[in-house]
Amino acid sequence: MRFNKQELTTLATQPSQKFDKEGVLFLRERQEGFFRRTERKDIKRGKRSKSLRELSCYSGTSKVSLERWCRLRGNLLFYFKSREQWSEPLGVIILEQCSIKVDTPTAEGPYGFRLVFEGGLSQHLAAYSEGERDAWLQAIQLASYDCMRSQLLVLQQRMELHRGQDPDLDVHMWRIRRGHTVDPCELPLCEISLACDNLLCDGHGRPPNPVLVVHVYFATDAVWIKYARTEVVEKSSNPGFLNTVTFRASDGLNGETRVRLTAYDVREHVSQTATPIGSSVVTLGAVLETDRLRIPLLSPAGTTVGFLTMTVWKLEPEDKGGSTESTPCRSAPDHDVAVICSHRRSQSLPPRLGTKLKLPHQGQLRLLFANPHMHTYCFHSGLGGDIYVHEVMAESRLCFLFPQQLLALWIQEEKELLQEVAGMGELHEPWHTRQVELLDRHLHLLHLYSQAKENLEAHKGTYFKPSSRKGDRMLEFAPVNLHLQRMWVQNDTLRKSGFYDIITVGAFTAHSHKSKNGGLIKLLQQLKESPSRTNETLQGPSKIRMAHDAIQAIKQLRREVVDGMRALMKLAKEKQTTGMLTICEDMISKTRILLSLWD
């Protein structure tokens, strides 16, 4: 990791804030480690700093633990040679991605414990007494970012439960619990575009970073469920959001369903820390009755902190009309000409009314893809009207099927090669040793392919392998991040629409084998970048080419010899001697060439 030494020193010595814990700890280092060398240099130079009981230590086999003054601030554990306030720290331990293992109690020496980090590294520490060790263990466990994050999530969950909503339950999880899958061809109740205006600034006059969260109240479960969320608009009191919200009857929504829209000010993007600005509650029936609805946003104190505008559309099924063109109608009606030639100030206006949105016809999408996730957007393009985007992300049903078929082909090929090698009979040395090696290799590959095929057949759940599981040996032959992204784009003003399909998949790399030398691309790049001035370097590609040509010639000769043997066996079955001598002479010559190439 990168760090600034001067800032760390200031953080370790600054007395403006109390440290989380200070005290004496023994740090185990190798006997010829950094601390030993530093102390010897100080002694040789005649220096003598203030020590902690003359730096007492205890030692084990080839290791020594030195007494250090330690200060814990956040997730940083600083250690010093002396306890002076302004002394420079000797080092720092970052208390992240580590676990604690307590040593077995012994009658000799201090009470020790070990910090074991991911990757195998560890750091041994010890305290004078058991009570002091337990106090350090508690402070270290509470110091990591993960611990602080978990505490924050627990507090957020308590607040959400107090408000009457389940923090862990959004509409996607709710659908999974109900066993409900969204149908891309379902005609929704409506689609709304959201915008805010006159949102209050903070005390310094800075505009907020607003985001809207939509909750829906399900009376059957008596709980508010997060239904949708917009993107974050940076520093704006009058944001217009690109994400639109689609309400579906298949989720159990109707005209009496209550919808709550809450505006948040995002203070920190990484942790998504946000403070509520205001909220408003409407019924879905009130939304369906109008094309545009403007309502106030109220703070918890009941004061108006801004306004929310909803533009509502009722979608219609797409009229395919027997045409495969992406433009359903080439000519626009006369009454739309004025809209096309409107003033440039229309760029700052909200989405226009009277727009007819079409629901795209997905065809036989569900035959090859499953578990769709849909998002809708509205882009204001000024003179050209608004552009509406319907995005579908779906998993391929072939994600685990194709690898199984490929493994089945490899298994059959390995069985044939195994039979061919075993059918050679007992060979003399050194060919017998090579025969045994080939048998072992093909048996090993046959076992690996069979086990991988069984793992893929036993896989249950989604048809998607995320990048977080790219190192999983159980799914090593399945493609990573294979999915479809389908974009349906429509411009009602220009009467244009079209599909854009993108298939995305991760690199086909053996991540589970954890190669340390890079993949094929890196090896080829090293070969290209290698110096080519001397004759020795020029021999590399030529040798590779010669070996490749020899292998291809051997394969061709082998096929010809096998074909000759089959022709000879056919003549023998038919009891015809005509042509046998010619075939035998040809096979003898090709076998000699094959042996010469093999040598």
State the Cα–Cα distance between residues 473 and 464, nearest whole angstrom: 15
CATH architecture label of 5-143:
Roll (2.30)
The predicted pLDDT at position 383 comes to 62
The predicted pLDDT at position 386 comes to 83
The predicted pLDDT at position 55 comes to 44
Q: Is the dihedral of CA 440, 445, 448, 453 positive or negative?
A: negative
The predicted pLDDT at position 587 comes to 84
Q: DSSP label at 468?
A: G
Q: Is the dihedral of CA 363, 493, 331, 356 positive or negative?
A: positive
The predicted pLDDT at position 344 comes to 34
User: Does domain 165-314 match CATH 2.60.40.150?
Assistant: yes
What is the residue type of 433?
A: T
pLDDT in tens, 54-85: 445 555 544 677 888 898 988 888 888 887 87
Tokens at residue 563, please? 């074909």
Task: State the chain's maximal CA–CA distance in angstroms.
Answer: 108
pLDDT in tens, 261-314: 999 999 888 777 889 999 999 999 999 998 899 999 999 888 999 999 999 988
The predicted pLDDT at position 222 comes to 82
Name the region of 199 (left: φ>0; alpha: ψ -120 to 50; beta: rest).
beta
Tokens at residue 310, please? 């909803």
Task: Give how far Cα 260 sits from Cα of 218, 263, 279, 294, 591, Å.
Answer: 12, 10, 7, 14, 83
* Weakly modelled stretches of the chain, pLDDT under 70: 1-3, 15-17, 29-63, 107-109, 156, 159-168, 318-355, 382-384, 514-521, 523, 530-544, 598-599
The predicted pLDDT at position 328 comes to 41
State the Cα–Cα distance between residues 117 and 385, nearest whole angstrom: 56
Task: Mark 174-207 as b/e (b = at least 16 C-beta within 10 Å).
Answer: beeeeeeebebeeebbbbbbbbbbebbeeeeeeb
DSSP secondary structure string for all residues of 435-463: HHHHHHHHHHHHHHHHHHHHHHHH--S-S
The predicted pLDDT at position 165 comes to 60
SS3 state of residue 32: coil
Q: How many residues does the chain have?
A: 599
Displacement of CA 307 from its chain's centroid (Å): 37
Stated pTM of the model:
0.58
